[in-house]
Every structure is written in structure tokens, then in C-alpha cells.
Amino acid sequence: RKKMGLLLLLIICQCAINSIKTNSVSSPNIVLLMADDLGIGDLGCYGNRTLRTPNIDRLAEEGVTLTQHIAASPLCTPSRAAFLTGRYPIRSGMAAFSRVGVFLFSASSGGLPSEEITFSKLLKQKGYATALIGKWHLGMNCESSNDFCHHPLSHGFDYFYGLPVTNFRDCKPGQGSVFLKGVQKSLVIPIQITGIALVSLAVVQYIGLLKVPFQALGYFLVIITISLVVLIFFFYHFRHLNCFLMRDHQIIQQPLSYENLTQRLTKEALQFIGRNSDTPFLLVLSYLHVHTALYASENFKGRSKHGLYGDAVEEMDWSVGQVLDVLEKHNLSDKTLLYFTSDQGAHVEEISSSGEVHGGYNGIYKGGKSTNWEGGIRVPGLLRWPGVVQAGAYIDEPTSNMDIFPTIVKLAGAQLPSDRIIDGHDLLPLLQGKVTQSKHEFLFHYCNAYLNAVRWHPGNSQSVWKVFFFTPNFSPEDSNGCHDSHVCFCHGGFITRHDPPLLFDLSRDPEEQVPLNPETESRFYEILRVIHQAVENHTRSLHAVPNQLSWDNLLWKPWLQLCCSSLFQSCYCDYESGWNPLQVHLG
């Protein structure tokens, strides 16, 4: 009888242990940290020896480092759309056919469609508290200035504190403009044509060759004048119209102030965790660092070895440390999956007006932001969950930022959508060492809406093949980016097409320096045949959807403009001025 009792007690204890393990693996808290334009070579855990990132490096020591973690796009808007939905941005209409591949204005009508299912929507349905703090960049309104159809709160987030668009140079006085060079180039020819046309009409009118009604000339001049006035007004007030801070649906600071900005974002994140320490939560902390305009608070200015860029990286690392500390304070570390990444690679063309490098370091990898060379899409991928995922492990398998969607949806106990293709795969088996091979046999790399490259990792091989159907024309030619245009573009004279495609084996040539050919790779044509078949299968899976980045959806629409006062009062307000930086422990 004693033996039976002891056996029963052991069974009960084992069941209790299994129950604890199951509960720890299901419905964990989720903290997703996303940097902006951070290079994979900017972090100590990826080989940097001069920038100090001890808190981010701690994630690698206590979790898993993904060494082939790939952004679904080399640009902010489409990459973030893919991250939230687990789907290639071409499927949601978040990939542009025009030159401009991201939203530039708060009063554009395009954005992440309401039909898309985000991981925040699914986790909210499972009882999670959800918050997005920081950068959004996926649209705001559709038809009026208060319909908020693309707003974070319309995509499953309970709470939003941050920027609806992004951090532009134009947002910070004295940092130059990301638009003026492009606008000047775009307007020079139309203005010249208009001027020549007006002079020619005046001449033929004067000598009597042609009678032009003065009324028609008057209308033409009025239209030109109004257009120029609107354009000048818009760019003169760009900072007020596009650079502002919101809490939920309310503007709380317009224009945005950079003073203690990272501390304010961090404080909001810490408070959200504190408010929800007794319930499952999803926190997306989307940093403005290190997109230009660069900034750092007084506590970090001048402290790094890499100027203002390094100061910004080290301040972001401090913020990551604050998040780790608050999780420990509330005994949540073992109940929380934490992920750190960047939306794409470093922007190598970023040079300040004084000549200081304001872009990051992509390590050994070629190119950067806006290109599908590895420097543009191979990003940091760090996941920590003590007791559940391996500590100090490295996974050298192709993974994607789209994989976060199915990973956390399954952990939350939600069902993956069955009415659409989800391109991401659950990472947990890889993270726990239960499997050694990624489910991504193929990854498709788009430059805006154009299929640019394909990666193939055969199941029976260590090779990772990558083909390019076209490549950007670097300017100057011997540089590592498109410095003349500030970013690389995806069509026309900006690219060189390749037939046959360029072929690389990333397992032997991660720098993408030496394209293979039939003489150097005996399976050259067989590899291309398999990849072309994969492209055909992938293309058949695509369906026509409204283009959210069409010119009509991209252009500024005055009736969609958010303004906390009025346009005539220059859209000014500041409800953040009483913020106390001493309330955040700087450590």
C-alpha cells in the first residue's frame, strides 16, 4: 500500500511538473524589439569590437543567435508589413511598382489593409494585452483625417505611443533634407519645359504667328502658381505635418522633439510591462534608432567611438537593458520570449552634410538598405527565453522576420489563418534544437514589387544558392551603394538585368564577390532550373490586390492631414513638455 501511495505521489508530481512546463511554453509574454536601419556588424555579438552593446550581447549569451536571419524586404514599410503578417509584402499590396517604396507622408491614404491579419490581432483575441511603442510606418487614414483605418489600434494593438510615419532628416532642424535633392531633380526638367513653353508662346504671340487667348495663359499661370505655392508650403512645414508623436489616436507633440526621446519610449515600454505583469502581454518596441536623423540624449552624446551613430546604438542598447531589468524585477524573464532584430540592413549611403558617417556597418556583407545584397537583408536575429530555448546557441540556417508571426501565434494558442498563405515558419523547433534544418527551402527577395533574387537551401546540402535576376547600379561604380541617389532603385536605368542570372553559393562566398558560371559550377544549369521552377510555383500563389503604394496612395492629401491645432497655426502642440527624464533610471 505504501508503494502504491509513493507511486501515485510520483505520478502526481510528474503531472504537476509537466503542467508547469506546458504552461511555461504556452501563452508566454512576447517582447519584440526592432531597430531601424541597424547593420548586422554594429553589434558585439555579431563581431563588432568597438561599439559597446553589452545588453544586446547578453541576449545572444542567454539565447539563440540566428546568423542567416533575413528581412523580407530591404525597405522599412514592406519589411514591417511582412513582419506583422508573416507574408511577403507583395501579397498585401505593400510593395511598390513605382520608384518610391515606403510611405513618406502622414496624410497618405495607403497603408496595411484591414483585411490583413496581424499577430497582434490574433494575440489580442487570445486575451493578450498588446502595445506598439515607437515607429509604425504602415499608414494612418483612408478617407478622412479621423477614420484611422491603418492605425496600430486598427491592427490589434490596445495601446500606441510613437510616430505614425518614420524618423526623417527633415524632422530634425539642421540635419538637411531627404527630399530636396529628389524634388530638385524631379522639378528641374518640368520647370525648364514650362519656362521654355511660356517664352515660346510669348514670342509667337508677339510676332503674330499664333493667337493664344490671354485667358488660357492666365489659367495656366494660376495653376502653375498654386502648385508651386502648395509645394513650397508643404516642404516649409514638412516637420510639423509629418514628424509628430501620438498616444493612441491623439497627437501629443507636434512637431516631434528629440529631447530624451529614447528615454520616453523606454519609459512607456517599462510602464506597459508593469501594468500587465499579471496577464500575458505582447510588446512591440520599435526603436527610431538608428534611422537618420540621428540623435542621442545628453547621457550618451560623445560617449562612443563612432560619433553620433555610435552614441545612438549605445543608447538603444541601454534601453534593451532597461527592458531586461524590468522583466527581472517582475519575475517575468522565464515567462517571456524576447526577440531583437532590425527591419533591414544599414543605410550605407547616409553621410551627414559635414561628412560624418551616419550609416551603420553591415560587416562582410555587400550593399545595404534598399538592396537585396546580403548587407541589405541579413539582419540581427536574437531570441531569448530562459529554460525553453537554447542558451548561447548559433543557428546558421536561413530564417526570416516573417517567422515571428507563426512562432508567437502558436505559442499564444491561436490558430494560424487558413484562408491565406503564411510564408513564415514556426521557429521554436529550431530554437529548441529539436530540428536542425530550416523549413525555408526557398526565400524570395523582392525589390519593391519586382522579384529580384531567390535563395535556395537544398535539404541534402550545406550550400545556400542565391540567384539575382537584376542588380542595382552602384554610383560611383566602385562604391558599395547608390550614393548619387541616396538609395538604390529597382527598375529602368538604375539596374542591370542578368541573363542567365548571377549565381552565388553563400556557404562559400557570403560576400557575394564571385558569381559562378558553368565552368566553375558543374550544376549551374540544374540549379537555375530548380530555382526557375520554384519561381513559377511562387508566382502562381500570388493574387492581384490593391496597390497600397501607388502614386495615388502615396501622395499627400490635405484632407487626411492630422493636426493638433490647425494648419493656420502651423499644427503646433506639446503635451510632453512636463516629462521628467529623472523618472527613468539611467543605470
Q: What's the CA gap between 103 and 109, in Å, rounded?
A: 10
User: What is the mean predicted confidence (pLDDT) over 21-27?
Assistant: 60
Say whether the peptide bond before residue 293 is cis (omega within 30 degrees of 0): yes
Q: Mind listing the pLDDT tens digit for each residue in 168-204?
A: 988 998 887 776 666 656 666 666 677 777 677 677 7
Please determine, for residue 144, whether its predicted confidence score (pLDDT) is greater than 70. yes
Instruction: Give yes or no for a contact between 445 and 71, defined as CB atoms under 8 angstroms apart.
Output: no
Please determine, for residue 3, whether its predicted confidence score (pLDDT) is greater than 60. no
Q: Mind listing the pLDDT tens digit for each residue in 51-104?
A: 999 999 999 999 999 999 999 999 999 999 999 999 999 999 999 999 999 999
pLDDT, residue 200, reads 76
Q: What grid cell was written down for 64?
A: 539563440
Domains of the chain: 29-167+243-438+545-560 (3.40.720.10), 179-237 (1.10.287)
pLDDT, residue 341, reads 98
Backbone φ and ψ of 553, nearest 5°: -80, -20
Q: Mind listing the pLDDT tens digit for each residue in 512-551?
A: 999 999 999 999 999 999 999 999 999 999 999 999 999 9
Instruction: Give yes or no for a contact between 34 and 287, defined as CB atoms under 8 angstroms apart.
Output: yes
76 as an active site residue: the answer is yes
174-213 in b/e burial notation, b at 16+ Cβ within 10 A? ebbebbeeeeeeeeeeeeeeeeeeeeeeeeeeeeeeeeee
Query: In this predicted model, which residue has the larger pLDDT, 113 or 201?
Result: 113
Residue of 13, 45, 69, 137 with catalytic role: 137
Residue of 15, 45, 69, 76 with catalytic role: 76
The model's confidence at residue 281, banded by pLDDT at 50, 70 and 90, is: very high
Please determine, for residue 586, whether its predicted confidence score (pLDDT) is greater than 60. no
Query: In this predicted model, which residue has the larger pLDDT, 569 or 563?
Result: 563
Enter the pTM of the model. Answer: 0.90
Please determine, for residue 484, whether its predicted confidence score (pLDDT) is greater than 50. yes
pLDDT, residue 235, reads 66
Q: Which of 191-200, 296-305, 459-468 has the lowest mean pLDDT?
A: 191-200
The model's confidence at residue 21, banded by pLDDT at 50, 70 and 90, is: very low
The model's confidence at residue 261, banded by pLDDT at 50, 70 and 90, is: very high
Q: What is the DSSP letter of 343?
A: S
Q: State percent of the chain over pLDDT 70.
A: 88
pLDDT, residue 207, reads 77
The model's confidence at residue 577, banded by pLDDT at 50, 70 and 90, is: confident
Please determine, for residue 6, whether its predicted confidence score (pLDDT) is greater than 60. no
Residue 491's CB is within 10 A of a number of other CB atoms, namely 14
Angle in degrees, 0-180, between the axes of helices 76-85 and 404-411, rounded to the nearest 10: 30
pLDDT, residue 470, reads 98
Please determine, for residue 22, whether its predicted confidence score (pLDDT) is greater than 50. no
Q: Tell me the β-bridge partners of 250.
A: 247
Beta sheet of 573-574, edge-to-edge order? 393-400, 64-70, 381-384, 336-342, 29-35, 281-286, 129-135, 159-163, 245-247, 250-254, 573-574
Q: What is the DSSP letter of 346?
A: -
Across all residues in the chain, what is the average pLDDT?
90
The model's confidence at residue 230, banded by pLDDT at 50, 70 and 90, is: low
Residue 416's CB is within 10 A of a number of other CB atoms, namely 15
User: What is the mean predicted confidence (pLDDT) over 231-253?
Assistant: 86
Q: State percent of the chain over pLDDT 90.
A: 78
543 as an active site residue: the answer is no
Please determine, for residue 7, whether its predicted confidence score (pLDDT) is greater than 60. no
- Residue 542: partners with Cβ closer than 8 Å, 6 or more residues away: 90, 91
pLDDT, residue 581, reads 47
Q: What's the CA gap between 99 and 497, in Å, rounded?
A: 17
